Amino acid sequence: MTKNNKQEFDLLVKDILENEHFLETKKDLHHGSSKYEHCLRVARMSYRLAKFFKADVKSATKAGLLHDFFLGTRKEKPENSYLRHPLTAASNAKKYFDVTPLEEEAIKTHMFHQVLLKKLFPFINREEKASIKEFKPKSKEGWIICASDLLVSIIECERFQFTYAANVALILIFNIIMFKN
Ligand SMILES: [Fe+2]
Ligand SMILES: [Fe+2]
């Protein structure tokens, strides 16, 4: 990231990173590091992809940072589950921050990569319903959050690298075909 981009990024994330409720995510483990670190990595990736795809950089960065803003593990509460936590994160984001409908939607659809994976391998998390219609991102920024979460997860979860890599390739190709002008 260039110095100017870093300054712009830091300014975009500052308020959220310093918020007492968001700081609670430092206590939660996620893919081997804290949820706070994971969200920050996704925000950085979203910022970069938003610049590349000429998307709304502010919204993509904010939605990237808030995409997993729920407390506790996915197994602790039903609302934190594999496919329900995006709704919880969106509701928390709205509760504590000034979140636009575009950002809210992008947070809600960030697990689309896992919905695709579940369609390919239905035995994954059988008990949860994965609806393409519900989870398919509805904006360029939504696709960016989804791709960023997946890219960061590949780096964080070495054991799933192959399936994740195939998935991210599909999503990025879709992004390029649909939105690059
Ligand atoms: Fe998530
Ligand atoms: Fe995530």
d(CA 121, CA 28): 28
Beta-carbon contacts of 105 under 8 Å, excluding residues fewer than 6 positions away, are 137, 138, 139, 142
Query: Whole-model pTM?
Result: 0.86
How many whole angstroms from 86 Cα to the centroid of ligand 1?
Answer: 6
**Structure confidence at residue 180 (pLDDT):** 62
Domain of 164 in residue numbering reads as 3-179
Residue 113 CA, ligand 2 centroid: distance in Å: 11
Q: How far, in Å, are 7, 8, 36, 168 from residue 3 at the CA level? A: 6, 9, 23, 28
Cα–ligand 2 centroid distance for 107 (angstroms): 10
Distance 71 CA to ligand 2 centre (A): 13
Q: What is the pLDDT of residue 94?
A: 97
pLDDT band, very low/low/confident/very high, at 18 (cuts 50, 70, 90): very high
Paired strand residues for 30: 33
pLDDT, tens only, 32-75: 789 999 999 999 999 999 999 999 999 999 999 999 999 987 77
pLDDT, one tens digit per residue, over 119-174 is: 888 888 888 888 888 999 999 999 999 999 999 988 887 655 666 667 777 777 77
Domain count, the chain: 1
CA of 39 to the centre of ligand 2 (A): 6
What whole-number distance in Å separates Cα of residue 113 and Cα of residue 100? 23
- Which CATH number is 86's domain given? 1.10.3210
Q: Say how many Å lie between the CA of residue 110 and the centre of ligand 1.
A: 7
Give distance in angstroms: CA of 147 to centre of ligand 1: 12
